[in-house]
Amino acid sequence: MDIIEEITLLKHERNAIILAHNYQSPIIQDVADYRGDSLELAKLATKTDAEYIVFCGVDFMAESAKILNPTKTVILPDKTAQCPMAAMVEPTMLQLLKEKHPHAPVVCYINTTAEIKALSDICCTSANGVNVVKQQKEDTIIFIPDQNLGHYIQRFVPDKKMVLWPGYCATHHNITVDHIKELKRQHPQAEVLVHPECRPEVIDIADYAYSTNGMLHYVKKSSNTEFIIGTEKEHCYRLKKDNPTKLFYPVQSAICKNMKKITAEKLLKSLKTLEPQIQLSETIMHKARKPLERMMQIGRGD
Ligand code: 13P
Ligand code: SF4
């Protein structure tokens, strides 16, 4: 029996569901029950009857699944698969910022720790960030932690003052205008799709900025057949799988090492041992649930 067959068999025996983010390695995407972006996976996690949710992604995604389903066991096959951007906000500094802007709601990107969500008013993902900010009645918004996503959202809400946290995702921040221009030189017919976590100047030269699922939706309906993809390069595997006749050109250096910590071997081990499990205090989960649930009421914008 090969490793895929072993995972599939054990998954059924355990009554477990495997969720995989679009940046996961091909073998993980193939063995997963569902693939998706942060928003879709968070929603799927609330709909499953499975006893165990095995989350192939990074810590904040698995934590969000646990917060939204406190009675379920949520497993992250490698505990060290952490999003470095989520670690860029520190509670004491956030408290100080809140004191400086006492009437400003804190809109918190889902790429944050549970502790930071617990201090926030509403969460968002890259798929619904514009809608979430538009729906805040206040003129000033504290937006954490991704300054690039914040700058992107600001384009759609010019009348609001967005106080941005200086965080960023290195995988996206390191995608440069030169990377995109060089790919465009090689593939002049291709449309350029980038993630809103990219720098503003990269978004400026792209045709569109979308969440990973937003890119999937766009590519499916587009009559174009070639696309330059400015996000984690593995997303091209998912795009190609769904659109086998179309061509995708990734930025080769755009790799999220933390996403790649989830391997088939670790996934199999997790199904055998039912470890490592996401453990969060009841108090933190209670406080962090509200901003996540508020976000769930707001539709995608992409
Ligand atoms: P998506 O929600 O667009 O999948 O993005 C998640 C993420 O971590 C991007 O780096
Ligand atoms: Fe975090 Fe960036 Fe990796 Fe997404 S790609 S999980 S934002 S480090």
One domain, residues 210 and 70 = no
Residue 170 alpha carbon to ligand 2 centre in Å: 8
For residue 301, is it within any domain?
Answer: no
List ligand 1's pocket residues with C-beta within 6 A: 22, 37-38, 111, 125-126, 169, 195, 197, 211-212
Cis, bond preceding 250 (omega within 30 deg of 0): no
Query: Are both 112 and 76 inside the same structural domain?
Result: no
pLDDT, tens digit (0-9, with 9 covering 90-100), for 41-81: 998 999 999 999 999 999 999 999 999 999 999 999 999 99
Ligand 1 center to residue 170 CA distance, Å? Answer: 13
Measured between alpha carbons, how far is 83 from 149 in angstroms, rounded to an integer?
15
Question: What is the edge-to-edge ordering of all strands in the sheet holding 208-209?
Answer: 208-209, 191-194, 226-230, 247-250
Strand order across the 52-56 sheet = 34-36, 16-21, 52-56, 73-75
Q: What is the domain-level CATH number for residue 54? A: 3.40.50.10800
Ligand nearest to the CA of 59: 2
**Are 151 and 292 in the same domain?**
yes
Ligand 2 centroid distance, CA of 206 (Å)? 20
Rounded to the nearest 10 degrees, how much is the dihedral formed by the CA atoms of 214, 216, 222, 226? 120
pLDDT-derived band at 143, boundaries 50, 70, 90: very high
- Confidence at residue 1, expressed as pLDDT on a 0 to 100 scale: 83
Q: How many helices (H) does the chain have, and how many strands (E)?
A: 15, 12
How much is the pTM?
0.96
In this prediction, residue 7 carries a pLDDT of: 98
Domain count within the chain: 3
Residue at 163 is within a domain: yes
pLDDT tens sequence across 188-247: 999 999 999 999 999 999 999 999 999 999 999 999 999 999 999 999 999 999 999 999
Q: How far apart are CA 40 and CA 62, in angstroms?
A: 13
41, 147, 171: which to mutate for ligand 2, most atoms within 8 A of CB? 171
Residues 96-112: what's their mean pLDDT? 98
